[in-house]
Amino acid sequence: MLHPGQEMHKKNNISDVILGGQDGLVNVLGVLLGVAAASQNTRIIIAAGLAATFAESISMAAVAYTSTLAARDFYLKEMEREKKEIAEVPNLEKEEIREIYAKKGFRGRLLDEIVKVIVSNKKVWVETMMLEELALSPIEKGKPLKASLVVGVAAFAGSLVPLAPFVFLDVMTGIYLSILISALTLFAIGAVKARMTVGHWARSGTQMAVIGTVSALAGYLVGMLFNAPAGI
């Protein structure tokens, strides 16, 4: 059985996989459909798909790194502020602990004991204020790099889903199969996301499949505006 920290860590990793995979799939599918509609040239379609795949993966990895690093820096900054407040106005901070647990339903001697135990340990006191007052959880030092790797790899894998049919099939068959496979993959991602959070898996899967596919079809419509004869 996983303890709460391990469970949170696992959910964060799955969330990163879903984020990267979904984004990579939808964006590259849109590019592929647009180029396919405009050129009808398999070589150009695959080249554009690969370019979008690498660009998307690197971009998503960079965004995951910088955003997670910024979140970690913010957490550390707020933690230092809480430490300073505990040192300078301990009675006020102690009263905030009391209010937090009073709102949770604790009363009388039990509430007094909880407050006493928490404030007797500065580390626990600070961590409690961070989590209960600011709703902030600690971010490991290596988390930004790990998040970037997970999101980047997931984006790369997701991008290959719509690209694969064009490698083996003609353009029109590739378009239809790419849309079908991508929609099914998005449905699966949405279903997994619902199981992780809340909501019905079928509804969540359908919503993600429809939204992702419609978004990608916008690329096809743009490509149709620049339609060129095959071979050009």
pLDDT at 75: 92
Mean pLDDT of 134-156: 87
pLDDT at 4: 42
Sequence ranges of the domains in the chain: 18-225
Burial 14-29 (b: 16+ CB within 10 A, else e): bbbbbbbbbbbbbbbb
pLDDT range class, residue 54, cuts 50, 70, 90: very high
- CA dihedral sign of residues 189, 192, 194, 200: positive
Q: Which two tokens stand for residue 17?
A: 């996989």
Q: What is the DSSP letter of 228?
A: -
Q: Reply yes or no on whether the pLDDT at 7 is more than 70.
A: no
pLDDT in tens, 69-128: 999 999 999 999 999 999 999 899 999 999 999 988 898 899 999 999 999 999 999 999
pLDDT range class, residue 228, cuts 50, 70, 90: low
pTM for this one?
A: 0.74
In angstroms, the CA 50 to CA 157 distance is 12
